[in-house]
Amino acid sequence: MGVGIQVENLNAWYGHTHTLQDINLHIPANHATALIGPSGCGKSTFVRCLNRMHETNPIARATGVVKMGEIDIYKDASPVEIRRRVGMVFQRPNPFPTMSIYDNVASGLKLNGFRNRRVLDEVVERSLKQSALWDEVKNDLRKKSGASLSGGQQQRLCIARALAVDPEVLLMDEPASALDPVSTSKIEDLIFQLKSQYTIVIVTHNMQQAARVAENTGFFLNGRMVEFDSTHKIFTNPSDKRTEDYITGRFG
Amino acid sequence: MSDVRTINKINRAHRFLTDHLVTGLAVLSTVLVIIPLVAILVYLLYKGTTSLNLAFFTHVPAPVGESGGGMANSIVGSSVVLGLASLMGIPVGISAGVYLAEYGAGTHLGNLVRFTADVLNGVPSIVMGIAAYSLIVMQQKHFSAFAGGVALAIMMVPTVTRTTEEMLATVPHAIREAALGLGVPRWRTIFSVSLRTASPGIITGCMLAFARVAGETAPLLFTAFGNQFWSLNLNEPIAALPLQIYVYAISPYDEWHRLAWAGALVLIVMIMISVTLVRIFADRGILKGNS
Residue A187 near residue A175, CB atoms below 8 Å: yes
Write down the pLDDT at residue B45: 92
How near does any CA of chain B get to the CA of A108, in Å? 5
* CATH code: domain of residue B190: 1.10.3720.10
Would the pLDDT of B290 be above 50? Answer: no
CA distance B118 to A70: 53
pLDDT digits (tens, 9 = 90+) for A78-106: 999 999 999 999 999 999 998 999 999 99
The counts of H helices and E strands in chain A are: 10, 10
Domain ranges of chain A: 5-95+167-247
Would the pLDDT of B182 be above 80? Answer: yes
Interface contact A53, partner B, CB < 8 A:
yes
pLDDT digits (tens, 9 = 90+) for B231-243: 888 888 888 999 9
What's at B13, amino acid-wise? Answer: A
Residue B132 forms part of a structural domain: yes
CATH fit for domain A5-95+167-247, picks 3.60.150.10, 3.10.20.30, 3.40.50.300, 3.60.110.10: 3.40.50.300
To test the contact with chain B by mutation, choose from A111, A112, A159, A169 the residue with the greatest count of B C-beta atoms within 10 A, namely A111
Residue B24 forms part of a structural domain: no
Q: What average pLDDT does this structure show over B26-44? A: 94
Write down the pLDDT at residue B1: 56
Would the pLDDT of B287 be above 60? Answer: no
Q: Work out how many domains chain B is built from and give that number.
A: 1
Residue B193 forms part of a structural domain: yes
Buried b (16+ CB within 10 A) or exposed e, A159-196: bbbbbbbbbbbbbbbbbbebbeeebbebbbebbeebbe
Q: Coil, helix or strand for B148?
A: helix
Long-range own/partner contacts, residues A17-20 (CB < 8 A, 24 or more apart): A18/A223, A19/A45, A19/A223, A20/A45, A20/A46, A20/A49, A20/A62, A20/A223
User: A103 CB contacts (<8 Å, ≥6 apart)?
Assistant: A96, A110, A142, A146, B291
Please tell me what DSSP assigns to residue B60.
Answer: P
Per the structure, the complete domain to which residue B108 belongs is given by 54-283
pLDDT digits (tens, 9 = 90+) for B249-286: 999 988 889 999 999 999 999 999 998 988 888 777 64
How large is the ipTM? 0.89
Would the pLDDT of A252 be above 70? Answer: no
Write down the pLDDT at residue B285: 61
Write down the pLDDT at residue A228: 94
Interface contact B197, partner A, CB < 8 A:
yes
Would the pLDDT of A2 be above 80? Answer: no
- Give the mean pLDDT of chain B: 89
To test the contact with chain A by mutation, choose from B173, B176, B184 the residue with the greatest count of A C-beta atoms within 10 A, namely B184
DSSP string, B79-114: HHHHHHHHHHHHHHHHHHHHIIIII-TTSHHHHHHH
User: B246 CB contacts (<8 Å, ≥6 apart)?
Assistant: B217
pLDDT digits (tens, 9 = 90+) for B53-109: 888 888 888 888 788 888 889 999 999 999 999 999 999 999 999 999 999 888 899
Interface contact B83, partner A, CB < 8 A:
no
Please tell me what DSSP assigns to residue A146.
Answer: G
